[in-house]
Chains A and B, each alone.
Chain A
Amino acid sequence: MDRKDKQLRKDIAAGPARSVLLAGVGGQGILRASDILCRVIMEAGLDVKKSEVHGMAQRGGCVTSHVRYGQKVYSPIERKGNVDILLAFEKLEALRYLDYLKPSGRIIVNETEIYPPAVNLGTMPYPDNAVALIRQGFSTVKVIKARDLAAAAGNIRAENTVLLGALSPWLDFAPDLWERVLKESFPTRTLDANRQAFHLGRDYREGEGGG
């Protein structure tokens, strides 16, 4: 562990527990992504807890995963108004969980739209200004087309890894730590695509095209 890592660990340990809320739709790989995130945090020497609800919610319903970390973590779930980073796998879900963020909270929104039943049936509209609504309340918003980047990496199912990549510069954990955990998390068959997806997400700068 180099000096920067040690300092980071100290900084995090000194403050209250930090939190990331991952939100999206069943089948998007949210639980896998939050598992990887937790492994990185654990390997960085911090305490970590995460929580999600399985079961009925997987059948196309909303899926959220709370991740909290710090020197010592008690609750595995964060309260409303207190989340540091919202990692939204889908635009509508970004809106749904916006009130979990603290006023200074940061958001990453995936441009993907997955229609819920009422939208499919034409009885309710899918909000067409989701990103604008998000920007109204928050100054740090990163919008990303994770599916396109995943396709560019050679595996559209790696959308979740693209989003982890996009999250990674905001958390300051050493890149080689991510690298190691990614390697342990994927079978060789899909590792290259996922590694590529992670980097495309990590290097993504809004406004520079690329997706």
Chain B
Amino acid sequence: MKLLMSGNEAIARGAYECGVSFGAGYPGTPSTEILEEFSKYEGVYAEWAPNEKVALEVGIGAAVAGAKALVTMKHVGVNVAADPLFTVSYTGTNGALVIITADDPSLHSSQNEQDNRNYAKFAKLPMLEPADSDEARRFVRIAFEMSAAFDTPVFLRSTTRVSHSKSVVVAETPVPLEERRELRIDPAKYVMVPAMARMRRVEVEKRLRALRAFAETFPENRMEIRNGEAGIITAGMPYNYAKDVLPDCSYLKLGLVHPLPERLIRKFAASVKKLYVIEELDPFLEEQIRAMGIEVTGKELFPYTNEFDPGVIAGAMGLKTDASIKPPEVVIPPRPPNLCPGCPHRGLFHVLGKLKATFVAGDIGCYTLAFMKPLAGLHSCICMGASIGMAHGMSKALGEKGRGKVVGVIGDSTFLHSGITPLLNLAYNQGEAVIVICDNRTTAMTGMQEHPATGYTLQGTKTKEVDFQALATVLGIDSVREIDPYDLKNTRTVMKEELARGGSSLVVSRRSCVLFKRHSPETRKPLRVNANKCIGCRNCLDLGCPPIAWRSFKDRPAHEIVKNAKKQDGNSYIDADSCTGCTLCQQVCKVGAIEEVE
């Protein structure tokens, strides 16, 4: 059956086709849809873990019990999961364990551009890399077969272009791989104290040798011989870009990017006059091939940064492109992503941005967008969970100078991901900072995933719901409050009080994401600006709300201009089609010019 599928849908399909029924992960673009799609197949158990480390440990437990386990995460998630990763490489997996890492060249939705192929080498694990959706589907089965055959976790690396491109998939009827779930006690294999880990360490090298031999004849390491002039070694999505631009070259397309098939590479190199490696990000293949003593051209032509496309390859190879279109001579205003109309984060950050000489240590989520003007209410973003530790460190470093001036903000999903331990640290080491949980009741940024405070699981079962206030209290936080970020006055008052009081505070800023229908069934009336009252002060524009626009009097006909203040040079306008009626603009308007649309 031919279906049009994204790489992520195809990975889920692939897992289903080989009878995998256990999955765990944490959302993160571009990996999120894999587990979401997988969880919908019949007979499958899948869960969102609070973070990637937990997800991997859940997967390890399932695999040790004999299950075939799928674990999914984005590239930076592997950093979080790295601790168990490096040691499960020693223990092996009994059942089977496949870890999907979805990398993000070009940082479309990420804080860095790390190349996770390095993790395969670092942790001494095999890694497969599909180039399109149908390969993604097929490679999942291969990954599970390899995991079982070599008793090793197996990485499958996707990138944004593979995960989020759609192409034709030939879906097959499921043929489950064998699975035997049972309790199995084997301390020599699973208790990694030094004496036993040293023994397993040797096994890891044995396994790598076996995998290298496997790679030599692995059919997905595929030679396509066209002519003897130029040969290209490549893998994953860049293979497609190269084939489009250089159809007449010979190719060695690697399905397995670690470990490399040395003999095959030598054979291919010997069959062409000039050898190129085309790979995005790090010279991962190139350095290893050069270390084999083979002459190869790579990063002297191709960029280290950003994803490629056919144009990048044509340019690097010095081919003439027919790009003769000159962009029009006009300044095109940028269109960065922005907080949605009615976003609950807006009220909070409007208040934070106006606090004088205060550092707001930020975190990752939709609210990170509040760093932009005009809100400008967030001053750092490093990784998930960093805000609280940073705020604490800053307050300790500044001492008296920082008193009442350090805030940490963190989303609800991010807090549960990696904010609890730093909050404990803030209490334990007696830092002085106000931590705000931007609790919009969901994981909004990645598309509304459930988490331990939403009350529901990935597969829709009602479950326990963590209570942030109670948690902060037992951790030892001095003051715990709740605010509604749609209420600007109270938000301001509470923030000022908490900053003034010293010690550690936790403020839960609670209001559901406007796009998330579970908690906000009420629809509010959109608002409009009464031109007979607006004095053109621009207070409402300070909210950076998409429906609110400035209309200058400059190029408008005289009959449209109503001046209510001496120096007024324009007025505000609200697009009623996109206004959600959150009333923030009404609250900041000093002259009562913003009214409900009748």
Contacts and interface: CB of A to CB of B under 8 A. Distances in A.
A92 B165 contact: no
Nearest to B444: A59
B334 interface: yes
Interface size class of B (residues with CB under 8 A): 35 or more
A158 interface: no
Interface stretch (A6-14, A97-105, A170-178, A202-210): A97-105
Interface stretch (B379-387, B546-554, B580-588): B546-554
B309 A79 contact: yes
A152 interface: no
Contact of A75 (B164, B309, B330, B331): B309
A50 B6 CA distance: 9
Interface in A16-59: 17, 25-26, 35, 38-39, 42, 47-59
Given A42-B4, A54-B30, A98-B327, A79 B240 contact: no
Interface string A78-109: 11111000000000110110110111010000
Interface string B334-352: 1111111000000000000
Contact of A56 (B239, B314, B372, B445): B445
B4 A39 contact: yes
B188 interface: no
A75 B241 contact: yes
A121 B310 contact: no
A120 B541 contact: yes
Interface in A104-126: 105, 115-122, 124-126
Contacts of A49: 132, 165-167
A137 B311 CA distance: 21
| Most central of B30, B109, B165, B369 by chain A CB within 10 Å | B165
Contact of A57 (B109, B310, B332, B546): B109
Contacts of A38: 4, 166
Interface string B165-186: 1111000000000000000000
A80 B323 contact: yes
A196 to B, nearest CB: 21
Given A54-B30, A60-B340, A81 B323 contact: yes
Contacts of B537: none
Contacts of A53: 108-109, 160, 164
B327 A118 contact: no
B534 to A, nearest CB: 14
Interface string B544-581: 10101110100000000000000000100000000000
Interface centre among B312, B327, B373, B446 (most CB of A within 10 A): B327
Nearest to A126: B333
B243 A74 contact: yes
Given A76-B161, A96-B332, A61 B337 contact: yes
B244 interface: yes
A76 to B, nearest CB: 4
B327 A115 contact: no
Interface in B21-50: 29-30
A117 B546 CA distance: 7
Contacts of B161: 51, 76-77
A128 B548 CA distance: 19
A77 B105 CA distance: 14
Contacts of A74: 239-241, 243-244
A60 to B, nearest CB: 4
A191 interface: no
Nearest to A118: B333
A81 B546 contact: no
A116 to B, nearest CB: 4
A11 B165 CA distance: 25
A62 interface: yes
Contacts of A143: none
B326 interface: yes
Nearest to B8: A54
Contacts of B541: 120-122
Given A120-B541, A120-B546, A95 B325 contact: no
A57 B374 CA distance: 19
Given A51-B165, A101-B325, A58 B160 contact: no
A48 B4 contact: yes
Contacts of A52: 164-165
Contacts of B243: 74-75
A22 to B, nearest CB: 13
A116 B321 contact: no
B314 A79 contact: yes
B594 to A, nearest CB: 15
Contacts of A124: 331, 333
B523 interface: no
B328 interface: yes
A141 interface: no
B366 interface: yes
B273 interface: no
Interface in B1-15: 2, 4
A122 B550 CA distance: 6
Contacts of B340: 59-60
Contacts of B339: 59
Contacts of A119: 333, 549
10 contacts: A49-B166, A50-B165, A59-B366, A75-B240, A95-B327, A95-B328, A120-B549, A121-B373, A133-B329, A133-B330
Given A54-B30, A55-B108, A76-B132, 15 more contacts: A38-B166, A56-B108, A58-B337, A60-B335, A60-B546, A61-B335, A75-B241, A75-B310, A92-B335, A95-B328, A99-B323, A99-B326, A103-B325, A117-B338, A127-B332
